[in-house]
Amino acid sequence: MMKKACPDCDLLVTITPLKHNERALCPRCDAVLARGGRSMDSIFALILSGLLLWVSSLALPILTLDVNGVQQPLSLWQTAFAMLDQEAWLLAILVAMTSFVAPFFHLAMMLWLFLPLRFERKPPFVGWAFRLLYANQGWMMLEVFFLSLLVTAVKLADSAQLLPGWSLLAFVALMLVMSAIQLLFDPDVYWRAVEQCR
Amino acid sequence: MSLTALSHHLVPCPYCTQLNRIETDALVACGRCGSALQRRGAPKLLSVWALLLAAVILYVPANLLPVMTMVSLGRDSSNTLMGGVIHFVQTGAWLLALVVFVASILVPLSKIVVLAGLLLSVQFRWCARLRDKTRLYRLIEFMGKWSMVDVFVIALLVALVQFGEFATIKAGAGSLSFAAVVLLTLWATSIFDTRWLWDVCADKQGGEHV
Ligand SMILES: [Zn+2]
Ligand SMILES: [Zn+2]
């Protein structure tokens, strides 16, 4: 039994322990207050695979541009930095930020928060790391970038062809891993674990 | 009688969800994670209105100015947001027209309208259907970032066409204005707190029953 305030309507709700796959909803506004069966172990594995996928999504070409048979493989970072030459640096920063800088920062902060817990140690600057994680969260737009890739491929169809590269696979996998991490991460469960390892 | 955290002098930490007892209006560090907390005061309606107004003003150049200019084979063509949708409809790319229309016209417009409605609801204490209004907020919060699709597409086109060397594309002022509109509405949405909707109705009968 514990008391929580609904983040959306401020109602005080008493939550009984939840079983796996159970959710506690706010009786007044339907906000999700808690989810049952959150395991810290699976989050840690997801963070590590996320970091690996992040590296692979940048290492190889994400797509190949084919203009009348002339092929030009392009990596994710090349597409962002190409705009810097075009005086569109604001757009370049926006694309770089949302498609690979912010996701990396999220994974790095997660590792910072979860690695010491594996050794039952409290992470240094845990409060700051936690707030940075939250401040960065809104800048991750992997799914939106993926949809944009599809729209661009159709839009270019008249003059050029876009062929998927190996890194596209890693990018899609990263997208799924990131949403799994966000779904599994429960701030309350995390902080109770931190409090246990003083 | 009210059953909210506020009425019990409790403030939930926005970061770690811990309930903190706060009796004054001073800044207090969260007992669990150290974040600065303050008792929720009057709704900050003015800042949300200001951001929303800025978004509405920028929405005009975002739609009138070309989002990009393409020079291919000596022909020079400029595209506005709506022009892009119309082009897809004319060439029969219905699905694409729908995606672009929803992402770059329907979503930002409905976001602005819904947010304005929610602000009015707080301002004039409209206490009907608070649950539905809270749900509506969650919907626009979820939709917001999908408006960036068009901005990303322009960015990708500019980059790809440069490598392909079959044409030249320049990102126009329209795309920058549009990106600003999306970021401003995202910002306005993040400042808006759905608890304001419930706060102003706490002393009214309706608030507790809906
Ligand atoms: Zn609620
Ligand atoms: Zn806290």
User: Which pLDDT score, from 0 to 100, does residue A90 have?
Assistant: 79
ipTM higher than the 0.90 cut: no
User: Which pLDDT score, from 0 to 100, does residue B210 have?
Assistant: 43
In a domain, B116, yes or no: yes
Number of A/B CB contacts below 8 angstroms equals 185
User: Which pLDDT score, from 0 to 100, does residue B80 have?
Assistant: 82
User: Which pLDDT score, from 0 to 100, does residue A174 have?
Assistant: 96
Q: Report residue B104 as tokens.
A: 């770059």
Scanning B42-71 for CB atoms below 8 A from A yields: none
Q: What is the pLDDT of residues B123-159, one digit of tens each?
A: 999 999 999 999 999 999 998 889 888 888 888 888 8
B45 and B34, same domain (yes or no) = no
Q: How far is B150 from chain A (nearest CA, A)?
A: 7
Q: What is the pLDDT of residues A15-74, one digit of tens each?
A: 888 888 888 999 999 999 988 776 777 899 999 999 999 999 999 988 888 888 888 888
Residue B31 lies in domain: 1-39
Residues 6+ apart with CB under 8 A from A130: A113, A187, B15, B16, B33
B35 and B84, same domain (yes or no) = no
Residue bearing tokens 């994974």 = A107
User: Which pLDDT score, from 0 to 100, does residue B116 have?
Assistant: 96
**Domains: count for chain B:** 2
d(CA A195, CA A193): 5
B34 and B122, same domain (yes or no) = no
Q: Report residue B24 as tokens.
A: 């004054």
B171 and B110, same domain (yes or no) = yes
Average pLDDT per consecutive 10 residues, chain B (210 residues; last block may be shorter): 83 93 91 92 93 95 86 67 83 84 89 96 93 95 88 84 74 87 94 94 59
Q: Which of A29, A147, A191 sits opposite B16 (nearest CB)?
A: A191
In a domain, B64, yes or no: yes
Greatest extent of chain B over all pairs of C-alpha atoms, in Å: 73
**Ligand 1 center to A159 CA (angstroms):** 52
Is there a contact between A159 and A67 (Cβ–Cβ < 8 Å)? Answer: yes
Q: Which residues of A touch B175 (CB under 8 A)?
A: 91
In a domain, B209, yes or no: no
Residues 6+ apart with CB under 8 A from B167: A159, B70, B71, B72, B73, B161
**Which amino acid does the sequence have at B77?**
S
C-alpha atoms less than 13 angstroms from C-alpha of B121 in its C-beta half-sphere: 26
Scanning B177-206 for CB atoms below 8 A from A yields: 179, 186, 190, 194-195, 197-199
User: Which pLDDT score, from 0 to 100, does residue B1 have?
Assistant: 46
Q: Give chain A's mean pLDDT.
A: 89
Cα dist from B181 to A90, A109, B32, B152, B170, whole Å: 14, 29, 37, 14, 20
Residue bearing tokens 């008792």 = B39
B63 and B88, same domain (yes or no) = yes
User: Which pLDDT score, from 0 to 100, does residue B113 have?
Assistant: 95
Task: Tell me whether B138 touches chain A (CB under 8 Å).
Answer: yes
Straight-line distance from the first to the last Cα atom of chain A, in angstroms, rounded to the nearest whole number: 24
d(CA A127, CA B163): 44
B50 and B105, same domain (yes or no) = yes
Residues in chain B: 210
**Which amino acid does the sequence have at B1?**
M
Is there a contact between B184 and A180 (Cβ–Cβ < 8 Å)? Answer: no
In a domain, B66, yes or no: yes
B11 and B108, same domain (yes or no) = no
User: Which pLDDT score, from 0 to 100, does residue B76 have?
Assistant: 62
User: Which pLDDT score, from 0 to 100, does residue B15 have?
Assistant: 93
B112 and B167, same domain (yes or no) = yes
Closest CA to B197 of B8, B1, B4: B4
Q: Is A72 exposed, middle or buried (0-12, 13-18, 19+ CB in 10 A)?
A: middle
Q: Which of A94, A141, A188 sits opposite B17 (nearest CB)?
A: A188
B102 and B188, same domain (yes or no) = yes
B29 and B105, same domain (yes or no) = no
Is there a contact between A197 and A40 (Cβ–Cβ < 8 Å)? Answer: no
In a domain, B210, yes or no: no
CA angle A190, A106, A127 (to 5 degrees): 45
User: Which pLDDT score, from 0 to 100, does residue B209 have?
Assistant: 47
pLDDT higher at A79 or B153: B153
Q: Model pTM greater than 0.80?
A: yes
Task: Please state the rounded mean pLDDT for residues A148-170.
Answer: 87
Q: Report residue A122 as tokens.
A: 């409290």
Q: Is the dihedral of CA A139, A142, A146, A147 positive or negative?
A: negative
Q: What is the residue-wise DSSP string for B101-166? A: HIIIIIHHHHHHHHHHHHHHHHHTT--TTHHHHHHHHHHHHHHGGGGGHHHHHHHHHHHHHHHHTS
B101 and B148, same domain (yes or no) = yes
